[in-house]
Amino acid sequence: MQHYESISSAQNPRIRTLLQLQQKSSERRQRGLFVVEGERELRRCLRAGFEADTLFFCPDIVPPETLSYIETFVNVKVFAVSRSVYEKIAYRGSTEGVMAEVRIRKVSLEELYLEDNPLVMVLESVEKPGNLGAVLRSADAAGADAVIVCDPMTDLFNPNLIRSSLGAVFTVPCVACSSAECIHYLQSRHIRILTAQLQDSELYYDTDMTTGVALVMGTESTGLTQQWRAVADAHIRIPMSGQMDSLNVSVSAAVLLYEAVRQRHSSK
């Protein structure tokens, strides 16, 4: 094993910076860095074109194959941390004892490349990183072309989001922008806007999703704002047969995404 500088105190300035990056979006913006925990997530992140700045690993935890992976890093600052330090910085135990500070790289709407008849997931003002992460996992599984987060209440580099998405935030093109920008983008590319809402809507499986569509969802508490309802090409809903009037946003997203997949496969 190569020799790496060791860190045994949680008061070390590098560890304090790492914790600040985990906890504060303002710190992430200021430093242009975010934190990725776990070998699986880190591999997906780097394959997506992101660049690692600093890597931390715990020799007492990392399995041999992960250690071999760590030794492939060049032009990256690498530190070996004690078990007590790693337990301080880790969100969960089963992360192979490795995490990294990665340089932020944002994708704009204009940089977003979409195939013909794209399937796009749009989320307006979703607050909980865990919900957004779960939607990203479903978007990846359904082969969605992109996820657009409008007027976000959480940044795309929140560690809770990365963790709950299992790194899908790196495998699905993901863009943050305003609702107005997104509406203009979709309309200029003739992508049909389907808004999920209870009022004035038709059942989702009665709506054509075989052409280019954007499935638009709002918050669980208030739903979509009027600006989205006004520009929609169709309003759709999931039937609710019990006493609840809505599903968790990530569950609803999965239902709609897979209906689009079903329709597209059936039409071939």
CATH code of the domain containing 114: 3.40.1280.10
Please, what is the average pLDDT of the chain? 92
Answer with the one of 103, 126, 154 that is the final residue of a domain. 103
Per the structure, the complete domain to which residue 119 belongs is given by 109-266
pLDDT at 1: 59
Residue 140: pLDDT band (50, 70, 90) is very high
Residue 3's contacts (CB-CB under 8 Å, 6 or more residues apart) are none
d(CA 37, CA 25): 16
Is residue 122 located within the same domain as residue 238? yes
Q: What is the pLDDT of residues 15-66, one digit of tens each?
A: 999 999 999 999 999 999 999 999 889 999 999 999 999 999 999 999 888 8
**Strands 5-7 and 33-37, how do they pair?**
unpaired
Is residue 178 located within the same domain as residue 231? yes
Q: Which of these, 48, 163, 168, 52, lies nearest to 101 by C-alpha position? A: 52
d(CA 63, CA 40): 13
Q: What is the pLDDT of residues 175-195, one digit of tens each?
A: 999 999 999 999 999 999 999
Q: What is the pLDDT of residues 67-104, one digit of tens each?
A: 889 989 989 999 999 999 999 999 876 667 999 999 99
**Helix, strand, or coil (residue 233):** coil
Is residue 180 located within the same domain as residue 69? no
Is residue 148 located within the same domain as residue 244? yes
pLDDT at 95: 63
Answer with the one of 48, 68, 103 that is the final residue of a domain. 103
Count of domains in the chain? Answer: 2
Is residue 35 located within the same domain as residue 124? no
Answer with the one of 103, 123, 145 that is the final residue of a domain. 103
